[in-house]
Structure 1
């Protein structure tokens, strides 16, 4: 029987159930995948064989919520209102790409301008490096909606997996637990 291998890494039951469902049902189609546990502000990245390649704390959208505001991607350059800075939940077909500055990123939801990327310089008042290492997941809520990781984690884990080919990213919802399989099945047919 196929089984996801967390290689002894602790995880929430919701993250574990989602990863196991995604892999054992074949939803990942043999591609690398990630599970983003928003409640714990943590990302788990797996290779196509279902083995954990790495996990790390991540910065997520400042506002709690599981959807994206209409037209949020068009507000990036002018300023996204605080209440619209969410990391949307769901199943997303990811794709390696670049942002407008040429930086390598992994698109999670291109239409909502949500990506996985390295920690970048930001105003000192945001204390992003300190927030990223905080043990309190609530401290890690600061991004515009993107999933932000340490540069070393991006380079050694994200870049060789999701950054080198298309994959799947499962973002767990704020409310409730693991993504419902009916939601995953329905969203699997939808382009991201």
Structure 2
């Protein structure tokens, strides 16, 4: 039983993308007119979306799936309906674990290999970061947040990276997840503001089941749901 993955683009300033490398066409969508199309997620993102919607792992809260290999974010409402998607910028270094104690380090103390966006399931809530900036804290302990592109070194060319046609240049942050302003202000903030929500970050190299162990039982849940539907249809 798959969740609804129809993208409702009207009024969001984003368009839908094609299969697997969704972020490549999704980058231009951040500034393109809105249209309504179907969104084809990668296999990993589809499996996680299926599991969350079927098992109701989000506990009636909105959630975001961050597909690191595709450099894309997918926003769902509390019922598992996809509302929007956007390209993302993520940590410079590939990797699925945060360095122990990294949350207490200054940015200048973080080495290149430590600039990872950790994979996993996180309960995210809004809070204040350095400079009194309000951000969506994905994992406060490791200082991983989801927010718009911050003012910083122009040499980073973060906006250009986000809008470029490829995804190889989307690794530029210290570990945080940068998203377009329209996606953040019009979609994420209104839904996560009160109670927060969940963020599911797909791995770079670890097996998906290692990051999300409950995926192992998903085929059995799907089979049970199909059997129940068949029984009801036969009555």
* TM-score, normalised by the number of residues in structure 1: 0.89
Deviation digits for residues 100-132 of structure 1 (CA, Å, limit 9, x no counterpart): 222221111111000100111221111101001
Query: Higher helix fraction: Structure 1 or Structure 2?
Result: 2
Q: Decide which of 130, 138, 141 is 2:160's aligned counterpart.
A: 130
Q: Kindly report the root-mean-square deviation, in angstroms, between the aligned alpha carbons of the 2 structures.
A: 1.8
Residue 43 of structure 2 corresponds to residue 44 of structure 1: no
Q: Distance in 1 between matches of 2:212 and 2:80?
A: 21
Aligned equivalents of 1:14, 1:97: Cα separation in 2? 29
User: Contact (CA 8 Å) 2:95, 2:118: kept in 1 or not?
Assistant: yes
Structure 2: which 5+ residue stretches go unaligned? 7-37, 216-235
Tell me if 1:57 matches 2:56: no
Structure exhibiting the larger radius of gyration computed from Cα positions: 2
Deviation for aligned residue 1:151: 1.4
What are structure 1's unaligned runs of at least 5 residues? 186-192
* 1:91–1:159 distance in 2 versus 1, CA, 3 Å: same
Correspondence list, 1:17-166, <5 A: 17-166=47-196
**Could you list the runs of 4 or more consecutive aligned residues of structure 1 that deviate by over 4 angstroms after TM superposition?**
179-182
Normalised by the size of structure 2, how large is the TM-score? 0.73
Which residue is 1:189 aligned to?
A: none
- Give the 3 Å change call, closer, same or farther, for CA 182–157 of structure 1 in structure 2: closer
Between the aligned partners of 1:64 and 1:98, the Cα distance in structure 2 is 27
